[in-house]
Structure 1
């Protein structure tokens, strides 16, 4: 059957190849794995997975395939998992924690490396972020240099890696400190001294994640000079447009996490300044990663033929701000509206938020609508003999909002010329199979699927409970209106009493 299939140029390039993938337990890495197996017909994929939170690497590997993301692939090839092998390792360790035997196997067999692993925690320590984002990248590039049959090395970064700039082009900028020096500093100093060093290194950066990603890009430029290498800088990654299914999402951090808090009625206050909000659906990121690997491999072939003398790291931006811009106001408004169209049966309060760009207003409003109300609910829970966790939950929400605020209060011009050129180099069939053309996004349809995706995949609330959710929304709306009416009457009576006493005192 496979012999009768007409493969596209990109499919043919990856067909029957061996891939090494890091970050397969993450949102992007998992979907890269799914698409490589489903559409690229690769022969074998090695996954680097570590033990985490008491769950061994084998169990974590098996858990990858259990979710909805692999349903389309499972229908085509029920035994797809036989093409996947686990390699125990850890990006936090030197040489990614690989054994000499595993390293030798990778050097001998691997043709493509997709490096999707990263420490994306905005509150990670400098040592944690450096070891995963910088040292692991360097060590993996060293393995790539030795690989006997390497066709391409593909790396994912973030457009916020150059947070301090206002114009960001598809090139690698010089970092404040070299990767080698940062690795040495992070692992030689104790925590107290490292915190002091961090203050000077991160003077203009919002967190260790964006800073170490920028340093890692410098490592890519130095160590990836003469190997076929591509790098994707992605914007805020949001749920899928179409693949593996419309609205698919796993990431509960950043924009998706805030949208869930709004949809459940947990959040009452959004803290941001209106401006362009650069987002990108996850399936567009995955397609661009795979397409960029194809083109990087072509450059190796050109060099081998003598058409070019050297290869540089190819940098591509994966964004929407140039062709399909959204503002923060549009995002907040449409996500709230969409969530009301498919209300969750797990809704706690009516989805209703206040928006502010003033930090003091944010603190005041969150105290009134979150902390104070949470305190009253916790007191009621304690009196009933139940656990009280609402105030602590709101502390985490406020921490997330403050961590995300730098991205909402700064604007960038982000070019995407290289990404457009890459798209034009692809055949019509490849542009269908590996679509990352943001002009094809229908935002109205997208946000309808977005709300459903959050409901089903994050809130774990199936669409079968939609009728119950709508009843709950109507009930919450009535309660809200009655509460507002009571408050108006109460304030009116109080003001009359006070006024009467002033006049007739």
Structure 2
């Protein structure tokens, strides 16, 4: 939908559609066109094409008659704002999922890559040597992998300052020690244990003004030359006020801090490929936002959380949640400051377990496909409402981190302009691989089923099973039968045994998470990643061993997800590999119990229908068969 629409009124031209979302709007268009005479419709094989930005035609479709062309043009001009020239409404996408599938052998990724490195530039390790690095979000998933990679592959770094806040009554020093003990840092502790002392915690909070930094901390950070802004709230259900203060205002506060650094060479802002989900083709460029970031910050600072939550659906326009809304505003802040600071905008897609560096399968959360596989493996997730042909755009975290470091090196080794220029380009990288190596949701689910027989989980409470469906009513029935009722039954047993029930609460969280993800698992996007792909060609030969990331094109998807499940066992569920044989035996018992329960349910159902309701007698009567006992009754 066009960014020029007023977020406060949700207008299409001069017409108002209160609360009408993009799906409903597109469905209305589709119904209208479907009612045209057959001769006036476009052929089913016609392709939708997007017009140029200055064109008066919004979307053009190949048609057999000029009448159809004029009718569709006038129809769109009535409903769409004149500036929506580069949008492709989903109503006219003939088969977007099939188009996405055709990218699996994309020529950009599979053809030999030209080497475009500059011999005069220093290597990546040489560039970072002696520098002070500042990382926000260093205690998050991507932040941890970034810090480990910098310390291991660029060990001559002077210091990495990590913005941290006290949490769960733990000081920042205690949290730092805990982080260094993670399995992620095992390889670093074995090879270069001394470099861990270069991790320096700094007390602060991105959601606070001035990042919550004291004057002493600011003086300590005065020599920082590279900033990685990774901190963000990735929860889709965060209150609007919380998301604005952290994701949007936090970016502004970081930029204000960066303007005080005399030796700054790079400031990388990590966003998301899904920060502009109202478009189905995402180029590596900045898109207009639904609101002004200055007004949004002012509103968040003025009103209370409850008031903003009431206004959120209207204020955010058609964006599905507070995360993407506030991240899109943060991109506007970055774009407006590109002429004053050496900025980079880095957009990763769904970031999941490591592919191989430093260890295969490491992860510290249940986000993305890994969470789905674990839920299915435990037996608590047996249905999901999504498009089975939806592309799961996941990227291994080590691929993202390598690309981030290479992008920072590229920007930092470029000649910095002496005079700020508004025409200065903002490097943007869409870090995604779905157009090179893609997997559909149905493929991942089937792969998970096969892997669950090979690598079962110790905490399995029922036999893995279920599947995905596009029919909402079907999904709700399966949620009732496979999620809610078993949870109530098992929690009741736990209460009788004097143990704390947990399953109903867990199923509530799973259902809430699925609802929050519906927008993303029912739609597909085409992410253009030319800059991300070409960036690898600029890596110098001596850096290929540590930072070359295009080898993901050749990786084995089955082996990767096998490592993901093993990693989930080891690092998330804290299960030992030597317990796998015992887990296999437990899985066999669960499968047998599952068959017995299903047989009992089917038998009970047939008994009620056939015997209690005498359906068997009715069927026999309809086919003309009269049992012998009926003759005896008649004779009497």
- TM-score (structure 2 length as normaliser): 0.75
Q: Tell me which residue corresponds to 1:347.
A: 460
Pick the aligned partner of 1:298 from 413, 418, 428: 413
Q: Tell me which residue corresponds to 2:208.
A: 93
Q: How many residues align?
A: 495
SS across alignment from 1:379: helix
Q: Tell me which residue corresponds to 1:258.
A: 372
Could you say what the CA RMSD is over the residues aligned between the two structures, in angstroms?
Answer: 2.0
Do the aligned residues in 2 keep the contact of 1:142 with 1:223 (CA within 8 Å)?
A: no
Q: Tell me which residue corresponds to 1:421.
A: 534
Matches of 1:499 and 1:194, distance apart in 2: 57
- CA pair 84-192 structure 1, distance change in 2 beyond 3 A: closer
Alignment of 1:54-73 (within 5 A): 54-73=169-188
SS across alignment from 1:79: helix
SS across alignment from 2:358: coil
Q: Tell me which residue corresponds to 1:186.
A: 300
Deviations 1:277-327 (A, max 9, x none): 21101111111111110111123x2546x9x99643211011111111111
- CA pair 399-309 structure 1, distance change in 2 beyond 3 A: closer
Matches of 1:115 and 1:302, distance apart in 2: 20
Do the aligned residues in 1 keep the contact of 2:370 with 2:565 (CA within 8 Å)?
A: no
- CA pair 99-342 structure 1, distance change in 2 beyond 3 A: same
- CA pair 156-339 structure 1, distance change in 2 beyond 3 A: farther
Matches of 1:248 and 1:339, distance apart in 2: 18
Deviations 1:146-187 (A, max 9, x none): 211111111211111001111100011121222222111111
Q: Tell me which residue corresponds to 2:359.
A: 245
Matches of 1:36 and 1:311, distance apart in 2: 28
Q: Tell me which residue corresponds to 1:117.
A: 231
Deviations 1:455-490 (A, max 9, x none): 111111111111111111122222223333444444
Matches of 2:499 and 2:462, distance apart in 1: 20
Do the aligned residues in 2 keep the contact of 1:247 with 1:449 (CA within 8 Å)?
A: yes
- CA pair 148-8 structure 1, distance change in 2 beyond 3 A: closer
Q: Do residues 281 (structure 1) and 400 (structure 2) align?
A: no
Do the aligned residues in 2 keep the contact of 1:264 with 1:348 (CA within 8 Å)?
A: yes
Q: Tell me which residue corresponds to 2:3.
A: none
Could you tell me how far 1:413 is from its partner in structure 2?
A: 1.1
Matches of 2:450 and 2:518, distance apart in 1: 22
Pick the aligned partner of 1:40 from 150, 154, 158: 154
Do the aligned residues in 2 keep the contact of 1:231 with 1:315 (CA within 8 Å)?
A: yes
Could you tell me how far 1:56 is from its partner in structure 2?
A: 2.3
Pick the aligned partner of 2:168 from 32, 47, 53: 53
Q: Tell me which residue corresponds to 1:27.
A: 141
Q: Tell me which residue corresponds to 1:3.
A: none
Q: Tell me which residue corresponds to 1:137.
A: 251
Do the aligned residues in 2 keep the contact of 1:229 with 1:312 (CA within 8 Å)?
A: no
- TM-score (structure 1 length as normaliser): 0.93
